[in-house]
Structure 1
Amino acid sequence: MAVGLAKLLNNFIVPSISLLNRCRFLVDIAQNSIEASQNNKCLAEFSKFYSSLILQCIEKKSLSDSRAVHARVIKLGILSLNVGNKLHYAYIKCGSIVDARKLFDELPERYLISWNSMISFYVGRRKCRDAILLCIRMVSEGVLPDEFTLSSVFKAFSELGLVHGGRGAHGMAVVLGLEVSDAFVGSGLVDMYAKLGKMNDAQLVADRAMNKDVVLFTALVVGYTQHGDGGKALDVFVNMINRGIKANEYTFSSILITCGNLDDLSVGKLVHGLLVKSGLELAVTSQTSLLTMYARCSLVDDSLKVFKAMLHPNQVTWTSLIVGLVQSGREEIALSKFKEMICSSALPNSFTLSSVLQACSRLAILEGGKQVHGMVMKFGLDGDRYAGAALVDLYGKCGSIEMARSVFDSLVELDVVSMNSMIYTYAQNGFGHEAIKLFNAMKDLGIEPNEVTIMSVLLACNNAGLVEEGCQIFASNRNNPNYELTRDHYACMVNLLGRCGRLEEAEMLIKEVREPDVVLWRTLLSACRIHGEVEMAERAQSRVQNLAPNDDGTRVLMSNLYASTGNWSQVIEMKSTMREIKLKKIPAMSWVEIDKKVHIFMAGDWSHPKSKEILETLEYLIEKVRSLGYVPDTRFVLQNLDEESKERSLYCHSEKLAIAFALWMTRNRSTSIRIFKNLRVCGDCHSWIKFVSKVVGREIIARDAKRFHHFKEGLCSCGDYW
């Protein structure tokens, strides 16, 4: 009977019948057979057959078939150690953690491999606490862990950030004699300590290991790279090469990132050469790290060349390229590559979209940013903190406070990054009180401010003229143990005090800094320029020249100061010096985006195709604003001209041309006008735009080099303090 049944089972291959139906058919045969005979050979044949079926389930990764086989095995009563463990593995391969654990608990006995598989499965599914608890149960049942068990447990403790537990697992490895003898354990320990931020422990384990392999060295390199110690990462890499151990693609990937972080192009090129020699240049991780390294070393063309050579760039590669382009200030190319990425059907992630939003915010492309916002919503990333902070920053830098606040309020979880973005948005747009209110709310939300927060709220006080509030925030945070205020914070305070006329206090504050830099003294000089304080300005100029003899900005400021005080002989002398050293002032320019096209204007430049219409609109506006009381402020003409020529010069400022053009192009619309300028808006233009906003009855939003101005109904959001 058993021999005949075995033959039947071996020949039972009918492709048209599903695995489930085959099981049901065989169960009917089996029930009759077992009732007729309790032959052990018969049961063995069934076990053998069902084992083969389980292997098919594993190959197909079919959860339904695995469950069907499980049910038949239970019904037949043949859930042996061998069949049970194979079925357990099938559930793991099918990805069902519930079925796998339920069967695991039902098994009368378990192989060590089943314990390891279940623990590893938990770790892979980020159920690290369950993995650790199962390991504890394993030991309590008298089953000793091996190198594979410990490797999974190390990962579990590192994922949970449990240093004490990790050290306990390390102790178990020592007791079992696996710490130094097994390369798998040694590498796992190094990786665990590196992820826990304990690089000294990682290095000690590596030093004791007898079997140093590429995995161990790579774990060390990655650890030092991730914790910002590029020098030691390079030392480990060199040590590995000197030992004759060949780097793998992950070693190369990490060390190239290190070279990029260190801006060390010479070493980066040497590593590139080793990568080519090793034959791993075409590995995706290697190419991604290569283009990242070149981008961080400001060699964007080399980065693009590496990318062009890639046959099938993936999401990570596209993202690395776009991030690198944005960080290198190549926003236009980054946006172009993003469009290519979408066309290639590669899906962006939160980092991709955050970088693209950053590019849009730097270029002040509001409409493009709105389209990316739509993608953020489409991909369900509107709750992501990085994308959320980038959206707040975008709308803030485009002057859309309402949208920025709307995005901020929709964030599921607030953190210091999103709070900083919103505070900076308020600061840049002159909403000082709102920024301070949000800053004070951080404590109630349990969010600890950092040095970026302090910088943003001080900037808010700067742009709103909130001198006393700024002084109080600065005083209460200058000795905070959680962070150290930098020269930038002091420069912000010097600007705050200097702009309101408290120049002596500003100068004294600079002297408190251990080593004042050019920025601090130039900030004081700029404040002296506003108040016409020549003597202090000359002292500040002397300090700057000692630190940076060829500083261009200082000479421009001094020339403007002398011109504003009518000291034309000094202006002539200063300009003569500037010509001798071939110094050129940055030309003032303004631009405006109309119907997805950017139009750029420079002072006195009538080369625009619509110059006739611009001039007509400008003349109309000048006539209207004069009737409302506008008087040209010729103090802002830094040339020795007669009054009439000075007035004509003021009418040709770039921001006036941009506004005239925008009003003519949108004459049938009621939307806001947004213009941008590369330098600070002058006092005369500021007054003129206020009158224009009243004449046309439309909001005019102007972003200059320092901040936003929202002009509406004859008033500006800055309260005439900027």
Structure 2
Amino acid sequence: MRERKVAPDSFSYSSAIAACEKGVKPHEALQLFSEMKQKGIPIHEQTYGAVIAACEKGILWQQAIELFAEMPQAKITPNLVCYSSAVSACEKGRQWERALSLLAEMRNREAGGGQKIVPDLIIFNSAISACEKCQEWENALVLLADMQKQSLQEDLFTFGAIVSAMAAGKKWQLALAQLARMRECGLPPNAFSCNAAITACEKCGEWQQALALVAGMRHFGPEPGLISYNAALSACQRVGAWEWAVVLMEDLKAGALHPSLQSFSCGIKACAAGGRWQECWAMLQQMHASAVDPDNSVYNVVAGACEVGEQRQHVLTLLAEALQDGLASCVYIRAQS
């Protein structure tokens, strides 16, 4: 267009910015938007919507919020797209208070033509996710109630964020209640929701509930993954349920999953808490066989379990291994005592 010496107008700029949004090119969108301002080309709410969305998708959440905030000064009324992108930007920036403020503002504002702007499912999901990321579980529940009053049907994203918010708030009973609600709505819980519920139980010391959730995943789906097993192992570690930690480690390997450092660490610590030096030693050997390098904490816990079990030779063996790995300080103290 410029090569043919035809001056770009509002429509052509807006189309170009919309293309940048679809291609997730926020910097290019901002450059075009800046040119429009410099040249005095009329800017409409659709243009603002596109450039705000481009910034939001490109993780430039601060710029997205700033652009939205300047709309009143430009005497342009935000439309649903502008609000949706702005709330999503707040979610990415963990600005939960700003997200709730935008929701309240929507309810008191009319779009062009005098029609009310009604928050949709996407906007509610973004606001709930913002609360979840900031551990504002009570506000997440308030938003969920508002959704239901508006007759909006929750989706997998809604439930995932809500259950995760309950986990962050250590509200395991509410997390399980939301899983049950998912089934009532005809939505089989996905891995994210199940893992969040297991984490909620783990944080609250409800290890038996965590184990029941993993068992439920094995029988009804989705198949538990490494995150599921690690959360359950951590729950067992908290209470020293070493027998179940051993079972989980066996199930994990039987499911063709590869235990991580966290898996072994939780299993070993659970066995140590139960005074089971043999199991600690066996898991350490499994770590070596799985090419998972023990850290200082693992060596120290195994050494402590062997010390309690009066297995001095094992402590000396651990010292040699730890020296080779450059992690010998704690084991050395035990070996010398």
- Shift in CA distance, 301/137, structure 1 to aligned 2, threshold 3 Å: farther
Tell me, what secondary structure is at the counterpart of 2:102? helix
Matches of 1:251 and 1:73, distance apart in 2: 51
Residue identity matched to 2:88:
Y
Give matches, 1:618-629, under 5 Å. none
Tell me, what secondary structure is at the counterpart of 1:33? coil
- Shift in CA distance, 194/126, structure 1 to aligned 2, threshold 3 Å: same
Residue identity matched to 2:177:
G
| Aligned position for 2:66 | 68
| Aligned position for 1:176 | 185
Contact residue 245 and residue 271 of structure 2 kept, 8 A? no
Residue identity matched to 1:153:
I
CA deviation after TM superposition for structure 1 residue 325, in Å: 8.2
Matched, 1:89 2:88: yes
Contact residue 47 and residue 78 of structure 1 kept, 8 A? no
| Aligned position for 1:4 | 9
Matches of 2:53 and 2:128, distance apart in 1: 23
Give matches, 1:106-505, under 5 Å. 106-107=105-106, 108-110=117-119, 112-162=121-171, 164-178=173-187, 182-209=190-217, 210=220, 211-214=222-225, 215-281=227-293, 287-297=295-305, 298=307, 299=315, 302=318, 306=322, 309=325
Deviations 1:56-96 (A, max 9, x none): 5x24x5x3x34431123443536333332222222333343
- Shift in CA distance, 191/93, structure 1 to aligned 2, threshold 3 Å: closer
Matched, 1:103 2:102: yes
- Structure scoring higher RCO (CA < 8 A, sep ≥ 6) equals 2
What is the percent sequence identity of the aligned residues? 13
Tell me, what secondary structure is at the counterpart of 1:118? helix
- Shift in CA distance, 114/235, structure 1 to aligned 2, threshold 3 Å: same
Residue identity matched to 1:77:
I
Matches of 1:302 and 1:90, distance apart in 2: 50
Contact residue 89 and residue 117 of structure 1 kept, 8 A? yes
Cα RMSD (Å): 4.1
Tell me, what secondary structure is at the counterpart of 2:9? helix
Contact residue 132 and residue 140 of structure 2 kept, 8 A? yes
Residue identity matched to 2:147:
M
- Shift in CA distance, 78/169, structure 1 to aligned 2, threshold 3 Å: same
Matches of 2:319 and 2:92, distance apart in 1: 39
CA deviation after TM superposition for structure 1 residue 175, in Å: 0.8
Residue identity matched to 1:115:
F
Deviations 1:427-450 (A, max 9, x none): xxxxxxxxxxxxxxxxxxxxxxxx
Contact residue 54 and residue 66 of structure 1 kept, 8 A? yes
- Shift in CA distance, 159/51, structure 1 to aligned 2, threshold 3 Å: closer
Deviations 1:164-204 (A, max 9, x none): 5344323312312445x533333333333343333333333
Contact residue 157 and residue 166 of structure 1 kept, 8 A? yes
Matches of 2:42 and 2:251, distance apart in 1: 68
Equivalent in 21, 33, 58 of residue 42 of structure 2:
33
- Shift in CA distance, 68/147, structure 1 to aligned 2, threshold 3 Å: closer
Matches of 1:82 and 1:272, distance apart in 2: 55
- In the alignment, structure 1 segments of 5+ residues that lack a partner are 12-16, 35-41, 332-722
Matches of 1:267 and 1:307, distance apart in 2: 23
Larger Rg: 1
| Aligned position for 2:114 | none
Matches of 1:89 and 1:308, distance apart in 2: 50
Deviations 1:127-164 (A, max 9, x none): 22222222222233223333343344334444545455
Matched, 1:51 2:50: no
Deviations 1:306-356 (A, max 9, x none): 48747xx9xxxx9xx77x888x5989xxxxxxxxxxxxxxxxxxxxxxxxx
Q: TM-score, structure 1 length as denominator?
A: 0.35
- Shift in CA distance, 165/186, structure 1 to aligned 2, threshold 3 Å: closer
| Aligned position for 1:38 | none
CA deviation after TM superposition for structure 1 residue 261, in Å: 2.5
- Shift in CA distance, 205/153, structure 1 to aligned 2, threshold 3 Å: same
Matches of 1:72 and 1:2, distance apart in 2: 26
Deviations 1:221-277 (A, max 9, x none): 221221221111111221222233333443233113223324444433443344345
Q: How many residues align?
A: 298
CA deviation after TM superposition for structure 1 residue 23, in Å: 6.0
- In the alignment, structure 2 segments of 5+ residues that lack a partner are 1-5, 18-26, 107-116, 308-314
| Aligned position for 2:24 | none
Matches of 2:296 and 2:149, distance apart in 1: 46
- Shift in CA distance, 256/118, structure 1 to aligned 2, threshold 3 Å: farther
